[in-house]
Structure 1
Amino acid sequence: KEDRDAAEIVLKSMLRDGIQLLCCGKELKISKTDGGKRMTVDSHGQHYDITVDEILVGVGRAPNVEGLGLDTVGVAYDTKIGVKVNDRLQTTNPSIFAAGDVCFPFQFTHAADAMAQMVIQNALFPHALGLGYTSTNSLIIPWATYTEPEIAHVGMYEADAKAKGLEVDTVTFNLDEVDRAILDGEDDGFARVHVKKGTDQILGATIVAHHAGDLINEFSVLMKAGLGLSTITSTIHPYPTQAEVIKKVANAWRKTTLTEGKKRLLSKLFAWMR
């Protein structure tokens, strides 16, 4: 799901660490031998026969919805998707709420925690007119993939925004131009931000860095507070820190707003001021 160039940075790091990545495998067979566990697979037209110590299989998770008597209390569910809820996290039985992986596509611990807080407010403090309710539509959910370097994201990708008919301005700033990242030897990565064209409204952001999971929070706070990217350009960041990449990508965006027309106008203004 991540941007291709973000994934490629992580891939190159894995290859440097001696990790062999076989994609699009076909005819996968696994057997146990005296030397360990044998795996044969075809990948990109090449046959591989590999013996390893252990095999870790990622098969995903299924919602725990069976055997709970949900049918008895009128709670609709799907064995693959989970419990059906509205944006207030109410099930089809309005007196029963759900939160977490069992009812939400973003299956993260921090997302479940945020939804649990919503459930407490919506279930314990209901209002006949719906006032005071909180909605999942208001959630700003960042996430991080803890590779080395990490990939962190919040909001929409550029393709998501365009699919919704939004025009987007995208700006990227590389870590190899951030002094602290260079000093730490962690300059393989970037910060990228998408804003609604002609405005400073942040639609989404991606960071590839060794501390991306920490750095992404600045974008999350701004999006939740409804503040634009120009807020970062006027915010002082301590030097030298890797968080400067956020200030620098915001400054890079600011430069793109200086159109030729604005430049001509400023030139005339400065000439007049002389």
Structure 2
Amino acid sequence: MNEENIKLDITGMTCDQCATSIEKLLAENKGVQEAKVSYSKATCECSFDPSKTTKEKIINIINSTKNYGVKVEILENENSSYTQFDLIIIGGGSAAFSAAIKAESLGLSTLMVNDGLDFGGTCVNVGCVPSKNLIRAGETAYHATHSNFEGIRPKGVNIDFAQVIKDKKKMVATLQEKKYLDVVSDFKNLTMLKGWARFIDNQTIEVDGERYKAIKFLIATGATTNIPNIEGLDKIDYLTNVSLFDLEEKPVSLTIMGAGYIGLEIAMAYNRLGVKVRVIEFTDRVLRTQTPDISEALESQMRKEGIEMLPNFRAVKFEKQGNVTTIHCKCPDGSFTKFVEKGKVVIATGTNPHSSQLGLDNIGLDLTKHGHIAVNEKMETNLSNIYAAGDVANTPTFVYTAAFEGKIAVENAFTGTENKADYSSLPWVVFTDPQVAGAGMDEAQAKANGIPFEVSKLELKDVPRAIAANDTRGFIKLIRNSETDKLIGARIVAPEGGELIQQLSMAIKYGITVKDLADSFYPYLTLGEGIKLAAITFGKDVSKLSCCTS
């Protein structure tokens, strides 16, 4: 008869009766031949028939209980070349740190392996934090030269571009230290390792020739810029957000390839900091994932500010001659033209998940057609001991969703809970000016899902706050279920419109009706009052109502 033995370190036991309970639980597994659990030693010694059960199933039986968990498998071979952990986290960004914090609270021995970007990942190093800092710097410069009031004439601005970038670098370094490294500096159970991890099997990774084992794994390796396969692109020293944000010498000009949210935020920030900007987009409009009215509002503002917008232009070839780059493009009418870029070319054509170098073929982990790790609502993959979170997974690509996913992945893996990610009311913001914000479905998504819906769209020219500020750019759009009156979606295009979206996200999440929104109190002369007016607009023309109408 085949027999294997394991020795497990058990957490959560408070008395001998707990040990007896675990023994009885394991005895129900037909493959378990004998289980001896010691409360005083906090261990479980178990022999089993590998043809009927597995070590993973035995561990999962214990982990699925409410009070008990397997902290670590105790290796009997002291000469083993493996280092053993409860959890190995591959990656060093938001999902990874959130997972490490949760693991520490559970007393799990954890290894975090990271390579590529510094610890902290995309957000703090080359994404959210530096981009929003430069966007604010650009806004400051813009408002020093533009006024919404005829009686106020700005006198201009003196931009020290190098100092702006140096300040940005200092801020990034400070936040990386305070919000990431300092947070885990006193963790007793966390080991941090620099290097690229590669799976040998579903319980073992290799990093720089050394091998490490764990009971559970979390893959949180993030994503990187998608570099299109265009002739000559690899020979022109292009930039991405990773390299652009560290460039202290102000470029003469920028040609940005891509008009998604990354490309648009870069375009607006650098244009306002005094860089001549061109945007080439191969689809018919900017921010293609949104409805056309949003694209039109953004493109109109960007053209107004002097940004050259080229939708429906497809780059087919790049040529470098000295310091000049020639971009050959196919035009919307099928003809071809050339654009000369004397400054820099920035690639902002989406992202690709960091999954190709992990040795996933060795373990049979399922990927989507775009290379993302396929996970369910609990961040589980097709392998029971491997989870994934953040941009490497097929989930929304936001720092706050990544952090949430990292946390629930560890909880689900080690505490037996079944926490799920529900993104039906997820709020998001594009930090252009005006900002674009959304939550829930838009009208196209509601139609695709067969939901009966109605749309209310309120232009900001009918919102008293916008009128008083002499800035009526944009609109507030609400989508309701026409049968239940419940809010199912919202889209906002407005200066600081992102500050409004959270309450609409909460309204969607908790089933608030449009009538509830219309009947609520809103402070007068706030942009938030526009939500009330947009709700009223389902039944009335607010342009014909008094400011005092409710």
Residue 86 of structure 1 pairs with residue 376 of structure 2 = yes
Contact 1:91–1:97 (CA under 8 A) maintained in structure 2? yes
Name the residue aligned to 1:264.
none
Give the counterpart letter for 1:144 in structure 2: V
Q: With the length of structure 1 as denominator, give the TM-score of the two structures.
A: 0.82
Query: 1:196 is matched with which residue: 444, 456, 481?
Result: 481
Identify which of 408, 432, 442 aligns with 1:157: 442
The equivalent residue for 1:101 is: 391
2:324–2:340 CA contact under 8 A, matched in 1: no
Q: 1:245 aligns with which of 505, 513, 530?
A: 530
1:38-80 Cα shifts (integer Å, max 9, x gaps): 2232322363433331110124322222343445555333573
Asked if 1:53 is matched to 2:53, the reply is no
Contact 1:29 1:39 in 2 (8 A): yes
Partner of 2:432: 147
TM-score relative to the length of structure 2: 0.43
3-state SS of paired residue (1:213): helix
Structure 1 residue aligned with 2:130: none
Whether 2:518 is the aligned partner of 1:230: answer no
Larger-gyration structure (1/2): 2
1:205 matched residue in structure 2 = 490
Other structure's SS at 2:408 match: helix
| Aligned partner of 1:177 among 450, 462, 468 | 462
For structure 1, which segment, 199-208 or 76-85, has the greater mean C-alpha deviation from structure 2 after superposition?
A: 76-85
Note the alpha carbon deviations across 1:223-247, whole angstroms, 9 max, x for none.
Answer: 1222222222222111211111111
Q: Does 1:75 align with 2:365?
A: yes
On the 8 A contact 2:424/2:440 being kept in 1, the answer is no
SS of aligned partner of 1:198: coil
1:21 maps to 2:306: no
Gaps spanning 5+ residues in structure 1: where? 127-131, 257-274
* CA displacement 1:169-201 (0-9 Å, x = unmatched): 111111111121122232111111111113221
Unpaired segments ≥5 residues, structure 2: 1-288, 542-550
User: Alpha-carbon deviation of 1:123?
Assistant: 2.4
Q: Distance in 2 between matches of 1:133 and 1:110?
A: 20
Determine the structure 1 residue equivalent to 2:320: 32
Q: Distance in 1 between matches of 2:398 and 2:391?
A: 7
Q: 1:227 to 1:116 in 2, by over 3 A?
A: farther
Range moving further from structure 2, 142-151 or 32-41 = 32-41
What is residue 22 of structure 2 aligned with on the other side? none
Q: Does 1:11 find its partner at 2:299? A: yes
Q: How many residues align?
A: 251
CA distance in structure 2 between the partners assigned to 1:48 and 1:234 by the alignment? 56
Q: Which consecutive segments of 4 or more residues in structure 1 shift more than 4 A?
A: 71-74
Q: Is the Cα contact below 8 Å between 1:144 and 1:152 reproduced in 2? A: yes
Give the superposed CA RMSD.
Answer: 2.3
